[in-house]
Structure 1
């Protein structure tokens, strides 16, 4: 049966439903109507969401439109809903405590990061949500199933839960200027802090009884690639593409290194690293400004009006679970265009040796390619530019297969224009930047191989860690955090190189200038790659 509602109205109705069901996500996107609640997390709510998503899937599947942009919007929603349907067989709400932690931590962190309300209103909204934290964590304890939850995933979340008390009682409170408001927030934070402590203790014990497997399995992995990412192939082919890409990139890195043992060359480069986390942040900031100036000089993209990328320490709650740089976009449903490049500071409980390992993984030779990836013309340029466009549904639903693919493509783009050959230092420093750039691509090929092998049961965690420390330049400490991330987030790690290669392929068919290509494809969203091709090429 054909859907009779107009495409625009159906999308608007769907987004309203999606925001009501996911108020934390809506608040992160900039919806002030949803910044007073964390949402419902009981089992009945998750079941209702899956049923209602199925009905929306039927409605969008029946929607007909001859308009090119509307058809891409429809197919984006269909891809997302097919992903929801597939993931219902692998319920994260019964497997992964991080779902509940993220639902609390990120909206509260973004509230003060983006400051979309005056301080009194902002504090009031945060206090309202802090009062809901014990209920969210009570639902987590009720919902988590020891038969499904993996000890590895539970321990990973427990480490994050232990950062909660400091986050709500110190980090949030320190953001408030007014003394009376600060005191009110501090009082409201204590029950939430106790809930974090209680959840951490629960998870420590729960890890001892959890018997589940973190491996997703080839069938579901392949379904997500085909139906959600619109790739046209499954896990086995993705694995083989990763192996082929790795072999090609390994030849490239040997040529740049001037020796077969490129790994030794990279390890030697890591000896030259910033001396402290704050020095690392300052050097990333300088490199970010250099990359932006390079874009302007070469006219490679159009900058969004009012955009700004702030280079700041990673949130304390993120540090135990993410050992690399990351980025948070400006809320796209608002006029804000300020994004945040998070520099991977070590957790407070790291030893001096662990801190040095993290600094080595952010060596001076690597700063340039990472800053390009996270900032210009990578994530920050892309998402600030996308926020200025006028297709709401494409601002809401984004896939890492484009977003991360674009950021990695950005590194190749700037290599093509000579960026890594310029900059501070002598010719040896320039060769180091070039080598680090190629290694960054090689690292993403290694991720393709490892993630598919892990989740299809062909590689153990220990083998994966060994692979990433010998086949890329990860230090052992960073490799631990990386592999745990792959176990917890199946299909995400291969998105970088998969997307970059597809974007290069689309560029070959595009007939306009480089700037027109970049503005067009990045402004079309962070679409599943099959839809990105249609959007860029107009067919």
Structure 2
């Protein structure tokens, strides 16, 4: 990977933005808009420069490596400095008039405004830095430096040396911060910090000893490495004692309640509707999808089951899905099967001319690193816009740690058909493809501060789009399983809102997922766990999907015979990871 120079990257992005601005009707207005745009471009550059100083680990994940050796200690002084940064940037942003901005610039303005608002809200109102022990884990930043080949090894190891210096103070500050935590987040923190030793391993120490570092550097590396392992072990011991105390005395509820939920939803999703309104849409969609599944079940029932179909459609659907779900890969072949399906998806997308795939942007299927496990079974780790040639990792968790019963349940959930839908979602043309395009957006703001609902919504949209274009040869079994998968997306929204706002119990949640969304028990139990550890994020899939699909249909009707699916996809993706409502405005008003 190439190390990008930040001013140059921004300068290039600004050239791209300038080229696509619509021209004002009169010269005086043109001067005003142009002057403001130039001023906002300069503000954007200064904002990103300052943000990376304020958040060096975020910079690292984004592919900007100037501050790789900096690990900030999350103490009161750091929080005060963050608040000062937020207020300074908000004051600078307030000097601009959004009413006179061109659409592309206005979108960047709104993204920065939302980011600063959420940062301030999290520090002052949400306070997750107090009650979520899982927010403290140094592993990810170190793993990013060690595993990514963006610079010579010796250079990266020197960043590791510098970064290790603050690890003991980092965990000491974390323990000072943690107050009235949830037991669920405490348990996650234990598991993920234990996973840190997959990063701080003997292999890393050996790599440093065999490197081109000087003898003094190697000695310093070993000294700090030992202090890091001691600090992590000390923190794990403290967390385990805390877990015991919480189990005996009770702990804070993981449920955040309606007021905080609506506030977080507004910042995270930016959907132009309330969380309650989205919840009601999901309930309505659940009923519609179940009706479609019933139609397919009646059509193919006799092909698989030699007995009368039950009168209760949900019972019939569940029985047929259970029958079909027995067709799945062996547990030991799970990761390899995911790896084998990627070329098939690439071939289909290319043959159908759905979107241009760049063969020079590698996708690497790997086993999920230990420090990342315990949250989701499959995920994408993508390079930032500063290192566009870097690997995108498709993290797939192997099943070797599961019991036979749990593994079978998991494999029935990710059966022959649904595993293909999962790979569409995570890889081709889902997350992997969208994030490659996002890195090529002419706006760094849109690429760096993307909207989760757009990112997740695109991945969900591609599932249906691929089947509509003939993936799976319109096999009814594939459509039945797709609807099951889509029903899970819908149920995610119902589940998350109901758990966090309506006090849904675990028993009620499992009933929804298993009997209404036809999920396997292992998947349902895993989703319950996930919904206790996060808030709002589970709604992003459905929210973004509905917005994207509805907009495509609107755009298709507008264009008529001139509509081209590939052109729609590529223009839509060209605006980075902006909220769908803003992309819609840009495409309709260009």
TM over 0.5: yes
**Is contact 1:111–1:126 with CA below 8 Å preserved after alignment?**
yes
CA–CA distance in structure 2, aligned partners of residues 113 and 533 of structure 1: 38
Task: Please identify the structure whose Cα radius of gyration is greater.
Answer: 2
Residues 280-289 or 252-261, more deviating: 252-261
SS at the partner of 1:302? coil
The question of 1:67 aligning with 2:102 is answered yes
What is the deviation of 1:34? 1.9
SS at the partner of 1:327? strand
CA–CA distance in structure 1, aligned partners of residues 507 and 235 of structure 2: 28
The question of 1:243 aligning with 2:298 is answered no
- What's the counterpart of residue 128 of structure 1? 162
- What's the counterpart of residue 435 of structure 1? 480
- What's the counterpart of residue 346 of structure 2? 292
The question of 1:179 aligning with 2:210 is answered yes
Give the counterpart of 2:381 among 313, 316, 328.
328
- What's the counterpart of residue 129 of structure 2? 93
CA–CA distance in structure 2, aligned partners of residues 437 and 157 of structure 1: 34
**Is contact 1:401–1:528 with CA below 8 Å preserved after alignment?**
yes
SS at the partner of 2:527? helix
**Is contact 2:440–2:576 with CA below 8 Å preserved after alignment?**
no
**Is contact 1:281–1:343 with CA below 8 Å preserved after alignment?**
yes
**Is contact 2:255–2:503 with CA below 8 Å preserved after alignment?**
no
- What's the counterpart of residue 39 of structure 2? 6
- What's the counterpart of residue 406 of structure 1? 458
Give the counterpart of 2:445 among 393, 396, 421.
393
Q: For residues 411-422 of structure 1, what are the structure 2 equivalents within 5 Å?
A: 411-421=463-473
**Is contact 1:169–1:190 with CA below 8 Å preserved after alignment?**
no
Question: In 2 relative to 1, CA 23–474 (structure 1 residues): closer, same or farther, beyond 3 Å?
Answer: farther
What is the deviation of 1:345? 2.2
Question: In 2 relative to 1, CA 453–304 (structure 1 residues): closer, same or farther, beyond 3 Å?
Answer: same
- What's the counterpart of residue 196 of structure 2? 164
The question of 1:447 aligning with 2:487 is answered no
CA–CA distance in structure 2, aligned partners of residues 181 and 351 of structure 1: 44
CA–CA distance in structure 2, aligned partners of residues 358 and 130 of structure 1: 38
What do residues 463-493 of structure 1 show as CA deviations (whole Å, max 9, x unaligned)?
2233223333443333333222222221100
**Is contact 2:453–2:544 with CA below 8 Å preserved after alignment?**
yes
- What's the counterpart of residue 211 of structure 1? 251
- What's the counterpart of residue 531 of structure 1? 582
Question: In 2 relative to 1, CA 394–33 (structure 1 residues): closer, same or farther, beyond 3 Å?
Answer: same
Give the counterpart of 1:269 among 320, 324, 327.
324
The question of 1:255 aligning with 2:295 is answered yes
**Is contact 2:458–2:544 with CA below 8 Å preserved after alignment?**
yes
**Is contact 2:268–2:452 with CA below 8 Å preserved after alignment?**
no
- What's the counterpart of residue 505 of structure 2? 460
**Is contact 1:218–1:235 with CA below 8 Å preserved after alignment?**
no
Give the counterpart of 1:52 among 70, 85, 105.
85
Q: Which runs of 5+ in 1 are unaligned?
A: 423-429
What do residues 4-34 of structure 1 show as CA deviations (whole Å, max 9, x unaligned)?
7811111111111211121111101111102
CA–CA distance in structure 1, aligned partners of residues 209 and 483 of structure 2: 49
**Is contact 2:72–2:78 with CA below 8 Å preserved after alignment?**
no
What is the deviation of 1:413? 0.8
Question: In 2 relative to 1, CA 361–193 (structure 1 residues): closer, same or farther, beyond 3 Å?
Answer: farther
**Is contact 1:327–1:339 with CA below 8 Å preserved after alignment?**
yes
TM-score normalised per structure 2: 0.82
Q: Which runs of 5+ in 2 are unaligned?
A: 1-32, 302-312
**Is contact 1:325–1:341 with CA below 8 Å preserved after alignment?**
yes
What do residues 254-298 of structure 1 show as CA deviations (whole Å, max 9, x unaligned)?
223336322233333332332234x11111112111111111111
**Is contact 1:405–1:497 with CA below 8 Å preserved after alignment?**
yes
**Is contact 2:154–2:211 with CA below 8 Å preserved after alignment?**
no
- What's the counterpart of residue 229 of structure 1? 269
Give the counterpart of 2:235 among 183, 190, 199.
199
- What's the counterpart of residue 425 of structure 1? none
CA–CA distance in structure 2, aligned partners of residues 126 and 267 of structure 1: 50
CA–CA distance in structure 2, aligned partners of residues 392 and 436 of structure 1: 38
**Is contact 2:339–2:365 with CA below 8 Å preserved after alignment?**
yes
What is the deviation of 1:530? 2.2
CA–CA distance in structure 1, aligned partners of residues 481 and 90 of structure 2: 44
